[in-house]
Structures are given as structure tokens and as C-alpha cells.
Amino acid sequence: MGTKLGLVGLPNAGKSTVFNALTAGHAAVAPYPFTTTKTPNIGVAQVEDTRLTALARCLSPERVIPTTIEVVDIAGLIKGAHDGEGLGNEFLSHIFRVDALLHVVRCFEEENIAHPMGAVDPLRDIEVINTELMLKDLELLTRRKEKEQKVAKGGDKHAIRLIEHLERWVATLSAGQTIRSLRLSAEGHPHAFGVDLLSAKPVLYVANVGEEGAASGGAVLEALRAFATRDGAGLIVICAKLEAELIELEPADRIAMVRELGLTDSALPQVIRHGYELLRLITFFTTASKILQAWTVSQGTKAPQAAGTIHTDFERQFIRAEVIAAEALVQCGSEANARAQGLLRVEGKEYVVQDGDVMHFRIGT
């Protein structure tokens, strides 16, 4: 499953530093100035998982492959982007291609780093970006409504039902609220009707604070937390300046520095944890061919579809899966011991994969 997170925010909010902290140099495209370059910066963030580490110690595989999340640094969003300002249409098109947004919000003062709107005001900055996304959504919904109204004249029941939803979504956006703030069920979500809206995408607000506020918070952060709750979004607090220093350290030194600074975690673990919660993702593991590998799927995925993430033919040829929880396998000490103790369960096509499952897929021809 190719999960994509899109970094958005006003210029000089610290997006590039956050991008570097998340991808630790695994970038596919060189950085660019926000006003001219159309190609987004793309990198890969490896998902650190203590269960994968424990399994590797237990099984001694020849290779260990963690699961990853793709991070897309989408630059240049400014006021008027929905009308094409600052290559806005080009950048908005990149947002349509991601699964969730990491919205970096500037919460620090720095004389040498100009704010594009003159002064630091996190809630105003969020409103600027969200307004551009909502205006683009309104434009799309207006066109879609006109199209469905023509179809509905012929008595098409699906079109008639969709128009009701379209009108509700338009009313929500017109009132200055994002679609995600409605907390829609899967059945009532735009995706259920093949409609992709920018303001419906899950969002994790990333409050980029100064060094003095990295561990303390304050009134601004309380206001941001309250806003994120109303918006149906998540919020994490980081100091991009400190993150730039942390990525230069060895893992053990990085952990020590985080503790010394009184922080809970560096940026990457926070983004991974909250990103998985927002997107309702889980991880399962395979150990075939002396390769221990982690895979990401959505909650509720059944065994054949999980097999299909490894190879598309595996879903069609799926027969059954042998399953054991990662913690149980580690306690057994080896797959042979787990098998001898009868702890490997045999599951069929209706089995719903659980977070932390170690799975052996049996495939036909």
C-alpha cells in the first residue's frame, strides 16, 4: 500500500526542514524555490517499529525491510492559489494525489525569516490554506452538481441521492467549514461517491515552535489544539530547528538529546503514530525467503487483500494464511517452536488482518 502524506503550509513555515527530518535524506527530487518549480520534493520515511526489531532478533533473517510512507513536499500555496496564483493550480493538483496532509504551521518568531503575511498568526495562516482548499472544492462541487442535475432529470436514483450530498457539502464549505469537520461515515464520505475533495482529506497540523516552546506549549498551542479538534484533525508540536540538529545525530544520541530537552519524541515517530491513526492503518509482517518485511494496510483488510499488497496475483490465488501475533512469535523464540506449540492459526478468506500479525500466505496456481 503506497501511503502518501503531503506537506502543505505557507512559505517560510519550516516545511523543508520538516521534510528533511521525516525523510532523513531519502529524497527523490532536489529542493526548489516555492514560486517557480512545479515538481514536488518527494522522499521516503521509514516506519520504525519495535516489533520488527524484536522479530529480527528472534528470527535472524538475511534481510529486514521496514514499511515506508511517502512524503510529498508541496510548495507554494499562497492566497489565491485556487485561482492559479503562485502556480496554485499546479500545486493543488499534487494535493489531490496524497492520502493525508501534514499542514505545517509557523508558531515561532524569527527576524531573519520573513513571514509572507507580515506577522506570525497561526490560526490566520491555517485559515488561508484551508480557504484555498475549500474554494477549490466548491469549484469542483459546483461543476459536479451541474453534471448530476442533468442526469437526475432522467430519474437516475444515484444522481438524485448524490445531489443531496453535494448540496450538504456545498453548504458546509460555504459556512467556512471543511468537509472533514463533518466526521462523515464511510457510506456518506465523498469517496463513496467517487468524489475527491481537498478539505475532506485527513489532516495532521504540525505546529512548528521555537526552541523555547519545544517542550512547554502555551496559549497559542492551546488555541491550535481546540481548532484541530473542531476541524476533525490531529496536532503535533515540533521545533524544526531542533529537528535539523537531531537528524545529524546517531540514533542513540538522538534519543538521549530528545530526553534531555524534555521532549516526548522527535518528529518522525509522532508523524508516523498520528498518521497511522488518521488513516486507520495497521502493519503486518511476512518472513518468506529469509526476508523479514513489514507491510501497511488499512484496518479491516481481509487476508486475500493483504496478500495482494505483496503481489497482485496473490490475492487472486489466495488459499489460506498461517497467522501468529508478533509478540507470541517472539516469546516462542522461533517459527519452529511456534508451530510445534500449535500457535500458528490457519485463517481463510474472511479473516480480517490484525495489527502485528505475522502471516504466511498459501497461494494456488
pLDDT band at 32 (very low <50, low <70, confident <90, very high): very low
pLDDT band at 270 (very low <50, low <70, confident <90, very high): confident
207-255 confidence digits (pLDDT tens)? 998 877 655 557 888 999 999 999 999 999 888 888 888 878 777 787 7
Predicted pLDDT at 289: 87
Highest-confidence range of 113-127, 228-242, 317-331, by mean pLDDT? 317-331
271-293 confidence digits (pLDDT tens)? 888 889 888 999 999 998 899 99
CATH architecture of 300-363: Roll (3.10)
Predicted pLDDT at 267: 81
C-alpha dihedral over 30, 33, 36, 38, to 10 degrees?
40
Place of cell 498568526: 121
How do beta strands 291-298 and 281-286 pair?
Answer: antiparallel
Predicted pLDDT at 266: 76
In the chain, what percentage of residues exceed pLDDT 90? 58
Judged by DSSP in three states, 148 sits in helix
Predicted pLDDT at 97: 87
Place of cell 516506519: 47
Neighbours of 121 (CB within 10 A): 16
Residue 153, pLDDT above cutoff 80? yes
Give the start-to-end residue ranges of the domains of the chain: 4-279, 300-363
Half-sphere exposure of 283 (CA within 13 A, CB side): 23
Question: Which are the contacts of 168, defined by CB distance < 8 A and separation ≥ 6?
Answer: none
Judged by DSSP in three states, 205 sits in strand
DSSP code string of 207-257: EE--GGGTTT--HHHHHHHHHHHHTT-EEEEE-HHHHHHHTTS-HHHHHHH
One-letter amino acid for residue 100 of the chain: A
In the chain, what percentage of residues exceed pLDDT 70? 89
Question: Which are the contacts of 92, defined by CB distance < 8 A and separation ≥ 6?
Answer: 77, 81, 82, 132, 133, 136, 198
CATH classification for the domain delimited by 4-279, as one of 3.30.450.20, 3.40.50.300, 3.20.20.30, 3.40.190.80: 3.40.50.300
DSSP code string of 33-52: -TTT--SPEEEEEE---HHH
